[in-house]
Each structure stands twice: as structure tokens, then as C-alpha cells.
Structure 1
């Protein structure tokens, strides 16, 4: 009987037997059956030698040789069945015939071969039984139907049970192998899903770190930039105009308090997102990661600034000495929270860049409410070297434009930035009215 790869893997934990046996216990079973069959055939060989007028030792040796063939039942089941059929006229090898038919039916031999050999064994047993019973009938007083009836009963009794049992065991074995293979494949799929869940979790953590860094940059950079500008102006006018210095100092304090307030709000959102992640700790990995990311994004969007705050934002830059003009086109309406927050952050970061890199330049802020989108543009002229704030020494991390582009493209919008012909700089963004956040 052939051995499949699944069977070999299943028996890997058991000591492998000699020759063609997969396990030592199987080899011991076959050797024991062969010894029992050899003893049976040797005893039956005595009667065969008497009938064939042969020396008794020769009949015993013949029986031993025939019975020992059963040891090959797993390797060559067809040969064992053929030998048992060939020795049926000699009335020996009943155990070999039963075990051989069972092994043949339970093996992977094609069913047509099994059916053919089972039919041959049935026919041989029927013929031998019919002849032997007829001889006994002639010597005794039996009715005529007794001969064929006994022949049918004996032939079916010695052939049908082992074949049916072998078919059942073979089907059950194949079913178990199929279930084992399916279990292995499911285990591999679960392993792949676990790896993907881990990748998704790593991606979610990376995205969360990026979002936190972006929020920190937007909140801190703009407020601190205005504070530095006011501090520089305060230093310049402290001795000349004490009244203006007091006003600038008050503005610096207001900016600091606003920065602290926004930082507290952002930390509150992060803590809220963390508690929601704990609440979903018992959920499946992929669902927990997706729900946590969505919850954190939604909480951040709902608690963030909106388009209505842009006028206040522009006013703060005016208080810092920047010449800013705000132009609004179209009728204002409500947008999704993530759209309003992104529009606010783009204008905020663009104004922060003007404070850093173009102190004293005039700025034009345009906001357009269109049918299915909202557009914004921040354009500044050439920087004024005598603006007074150029010496503030504001650092730049180089992440402002990158962060704006990431925010806009994540909502399916368009972002364009670059220098103008007049020596200034322009930042433009268009956001869809009903943006769909892209999840990787």
C-alpha cells in the first residue's frame, strides 16, 4: 500500500520501522500475522500432502512458504491475494485470504482491481466449497439445495466481510488524511493571518506615531513661531515703546496659553483613543486594529479646529505684524470634521512657513466654497529683509510641506506648492466635499 506525504508527516513522531514499514509496531504486527499464517498453512499442508500423495515434510514446507507470504501484505497486497486464490484448491491459507482481502480493500489500489480480485476469490471459494460439500453429500443423506446454499454461504462469509471492512477502514483513513491536510492548511492560513495582523498592527502604530507627530508639529510650530515673532518684536520695542512692549508680552502669554490648551486637548484625544483600544482588546486582531485606528482618527477629527476658526487664525498672524488679506468665495457650509480640520491645518502651516522663511512679506489667503469641493490658497510675496522678525532664528524641520501633502492626499484631495515668479511662495490645496479617508 502506498504511503502519502501526509501519512509520513503524521508518523514523524513515531520511530520508523525497517524496510517498507512506517512504524515498528506495524512490522511486528505483520510478522506475527505471517507466523500465524505459516503455522496454519503448515498444519493444512499435512492434509494437502495426503491428498496429493506427497511426502508430509514437503507439504509442511510448502505450507510454511505459502503462509509466510502474508508478511508482504502492506507492500504487495495484490500478490498476497493472488497467492491465497492459487492455494484455495489446496484448502489452506484461510487467514492469509481474509487478511489479504482486507488489506487490498483498505489500500490505494484502484477499485476495479480490488473488485476483480475479490470476485476471483469469491469464485474460487465457491467452487472449492461446492466440490467439497458435494463430496460430503454423496457420502451422506442431504437434500439437493444444500450444496449450492452452503457454497454461497461459505464463499460470501470468507470474502464479503474482509472486503467491506477494508473498504470502510480505507475510506475512514482517507477521510482522516484529508481532515489532517485541511487542518494543516488552516493552521498555515491562521499563521498567515496572524502575520498580516501583526503587520497591520505595526502599520497602525506607525500611522499613529506619524499622526501624533503631525499634530504636535501643527499645534506647537504655529503657536511657538508666533511667540518667537512677538518676543523678537518685544525685544525691539521694549525701550522705545513700553506700551507696545506690554501689549506684545500679553500676546506672547496668550499664545503660550493657547498652545498649552491645544496640547491638553490633543493629549485628551490620545487618552480617549487608548481607552477605546483597551475596550476592544478582546476583539480579533484585524478588527481591533481597524477599529482603534478609526476611533482615534474620528476622535481627533471631531475635537480639532474647523474652517470657521480660520478668520481667528489670520487675526493672530496680523497681531504678530504680518500683513494678511483673507478672501472668501462662495457660501460657507458644514463639511466633514476631517475636511475642516485639514483645511485649517493647511492654512495654519502655510502661515507658519511665512513667519519662518518670509518675515515681513505680504500674504494673501483665499478660501473658496465650491459645489463639491473646498479650495484654499496661501500666497506670500518676496520676503522683506527689514521686517524686523527675520532675526528671530526660527528653526525648520522640513516636514511642513510633507505633512500638508499627506493630509490632503489622504482625503483624496490635490496639493500643489512651489515658488512664484515674483519671488514668493504659493501653497494650494483642493479637498472634496465628502472626502473618503483612504485606509491601506
Structure 2
């Protein structure tokens, strides 16, 4: 199909199914042009029949069908031009020739075919005009123009009838192709914008999920350790109250202090959630390639590595036998590294309180050249105090692993040969940026 594409000039087809037409106005235009052309050729067929000696009805029918070929100009523009060239000697099809050349030039037909058919039409018009003018000049005794008159006028007529429709068709075809290219580009940009919007929505959803996970992890770290110590102290208080009232008073004071500390930390965290900038907002502002590292980063405020000694002291006050050893020169680390290291030690000690009450525990910190390592190991617990009866959601080790791996570190946990449990982690000095 060699349609001109005039139907595609609008935003989209409104009606389909009219053979090769896509719009009602295209059908009306082509039918109107075909009727007008058929009427013109039919009237010119009368003169053609008189010149050739054919019956007039036959000349009219011939002209009518020849002119009606214009109806298929969008489907077969080459056929319309060929019929126009063929009827040129009969001096009919003036409208069919103009419209056919325009449609051919505006269509997607190869340019070499357009040039050939245009040349045929131009040569045919020139020959017919030349012959008619020469006959007219020869029949007129009073009019004697020079030898240049007939060729020049014939050439002018041929070019005037062939060049304008072809040039106008080329312009319309180029404009239509440009519009289609711009429309395709706009559609492509719209698709890209849609993909970017979907990607941004996915990023925002990922950030919301990470924010919920981070809040749950922070709440677990803050509450689990303090409450575990409170339960341990409460159990000790219940055991020593009848025997040693003074020690019971001290344990009760420790329980109260730990409860107040837990409430203070919860209040501070809730205050940050109410007034501070959500981490999700920060995550959505960074490229997807960095989003994992940003989500792992903790807020600037939080526990630091030097507070591990206080953390160990609290466990000792709860009755746990804990040894703390530090290797290497102590130095400051990025906030997210220090907070993650603190939370790993805190959660490991909490697990000892929960599942290995009474077991001896070793906490080791090692400051190395480009990393900080920590290890919490407990020995086997007494059979009577193997479990403090504290509930466990099973998220402690998972949370520690997520924190460490989020900063590009290494996390290992598992039982020891002696019947205890060991938690080890190594964090790079540069935090998430150096991972």
C-alpha cells in the first residue's frame, strides 16, 4: 500500500473500515474529487469523440471512468498518474493530473519513481501543447510569431502544470514526516517519563520499607536490652528479697534506673520521628546505586563505641560475669560505624541474658588499620539458669547482620565447640563510603 499518509496528519483515526481510508472527511474529499474529475473528463470526452469519430456516448463513458480513477489516489497514486499521462493526448483529466502528481509526491513512493512519472507527465503535456499550438499557428494566417513562441509556450505550460503540484506534494510529505517524527519522539519521551515515574515510585516504596525496617530495628535495640536487664534484675530481686533486703533495695533501684533510661531513649527516638527529617526523604534523593549504603547509615545522634564499657558495666550489675578487652589504639570512627558496633555488642549481650543466663561472657574490641572488629562470646550456662524465660522474636541476629552488611562489613555467628555462642563482626573504618 502506497498511501500518502494524509489520514495520519491528525492525532489519530476517528473511523476505520472504509477500505483504505481512516477518516470520514478523507472519504468525502476523495469521492468529491473523483466525481468532479469524472464530470470534467466526461464533458471533455464529447470533444474527444468528435475529433476521433467515436460515438459521443462512448467518449463520455470513457472520460467518466478515466476521471473516476482519482477515487483510488491514496491507495494507488502511481496508477492515477499513469492514467493521467495516458489521457493527456485526449486533452482530458486536467484535475486528475494535478491531484495525482500532488498525491504521488506526498506519498511514500520512492523519489526515483516520482521523478520518472513527473517527467512523463511533463513530456506528454509538452508534446500535446506543442502539437496543438503548432496547428493553431499554422491555421491562423494573420498571426505569425517567431520560431521560439510555440516551444517556449509549450514548455511553460508543461512546467506550470507539473512542477507546482509536485513541489507542494514534496513539501506536505516532508512536513508530515517531520510531524510523525516529532510525535514519535514525544511518545518516546512520555514513555521515558512514565518509566522514570515508576522508578521513582519504586524507589520511594523501597525507602519506606527500609525506613520501617530501620525503625523496627532501632526500637528492638533500645527496648530489648533494657527490658532484658530489668527482667533479670527483677528475678534477682525476687530471689534475694527474703534473704538480703539491702541487696534487694539496690536491685530495685537498678530496675528503676533502667526503666527510666529505656523511657528516655524511647522518648528521644519518638521525638526524632515526629520532628526530624525522615530517612525515606533522604534516601529518595540519591541514585539507586547508593541507596543500599544510605539506608544502612544511622542518624548522627546515637550511641558511640566508647559507651561499650558502660554497657558491659550494666550487664555486670545484672549479675553477668563479663570480661572486656580492647586491642589497638582507640580512635573515632564515622557515627554509623560506632553505632553499629555498639548495637552488635548490645544485642549479643541481650541474647546472653535471654538464653544463657549465668554464663561467663567475653567482649573483645580490636582497632586495626582500616577496620574495627568486635566479638562477644559466652560459655555454657548452668543447667538451672539456661534460659531467663524472656520472649524472643528471632530478629536479633538478623538485625545485627543487616546492620553490618549494610556498611560493607563481615558478620559471623554460631555455637562454639565449648557449648557456648559467639558473635563476631568486622566493620570498615570508612563506613558505607568505603565498602
TM (norm. structure 2) is: 0.92
The offset of 1:56, in angstroms, is 2.2
| SS at 1:251 equivalent | helix
Task: Tell whether 2:79 aligns with 1:79.
Answer: yes
Gaps of 5+ in 2: none
Task: Tell whether 2:420 aligns with 1:408.
Answer: no
User: Could you tell me how far apart the structure 1 residues matched to 2:33 and 2:13 are?
Assistant: 25
**Could you tell me which residue of structure 2 aligns to residue 206 of structure 1?**
209
Task: Tell whether 2:430 aligns with 1:430.
Answer: no
Task: Tell whether 2:301 aligns with 1:303.
Answer: yes
**Could you tell me which residue of structure 2 aligns to residue 55 of structure 1?**
55
User: Could you tell me how far apart the structure 1 residues matched to 2:45 and 2:211 are?
Assistant: 86
The 3 A distance-change label for structure 1 pair 438 and 402 is farther
The 3 A distance-change label for structure 1 pair 9 and 386 is farther
Instruction: Identify the match of residue 249 of structure 1 among 248, 252, 275.
Output: 252
RMSD: 2.7
Kept in 2: contact 1:218–1:345 (CA 8 A) = yes
The offset of 1:11, in angstroms, is 6.8
The offset of 1:179, in angstroms, is 2.1
**Could you tell me which residue of structure 1 aligns to residue 162 of structure 2?**
159
| SS at 1:97 equivalent | helix
The offset of 1:435, in angstroms, is 2.1
The offset of 1:57, in angstroms, is 2.2
Per-residue CA deviations over 1:245-304 (Å, capped at 9, x if unaligned) read: 1111111111111111111222223234456878x9xxxx95489799988866x43111
Bigger mean CA offset, 300-309 vs 318-327: 300-309
The 3 A distance-change label for structure 1 pair 214 and 241 is same
Residue correspondence of structure 1 range 175-214 to structure 2 within 5 A: 175-214=178-217
The 3 A distance-change label for structure 1 pair 183 and 41 is same
The 3 A distance-change label for structure 1 pair 301 and 4 is farther
**Could you tell me which residue of structure 2 aligns to residue 227 of structure 1?**
230
The offset of 1:72, in angstroms, is 1.1
**Could you tell me which residue of structure 1 aligns to residue 395 of structure 2?**
399
The 3 A distance-change label for structure 1 pair 172 and 102 is same
Kept in 2: contact 1:17–1:27 (CA 8 A) = no
Kept in 2: contact 1:45–1:56 (CA 8 A) = yes
The offset of 1:86, in angstroms, is 0.7
Task: Tell whether 2:145 aligns with 1:142.
Answer: yes
Per-residue CA deviations over 1:65-101 (Å, capped at 9, x if unaligned) read: 1111111111111010000001111111010000000
The offset of 1:172, in angstroms, is 1.5
Gaps of 5+ in 1: none
Aligned residues: 431
User: Could you tell me how far apart the structure 2 residues matched to 1:170 and 1:349 are?
Assistant: 74
User: Could you tell me how far apart the structure 2 residues matched to 1:24 and 1:266 are?
Assistant: 68
TM (norm. structure 1) is: 0.91
The offset of 1:7, in angstroms, is 7.0
User: Could you tell me how far apart the structure 1 residues matched to 2:48 and 2:59 are?
Assistant: 6
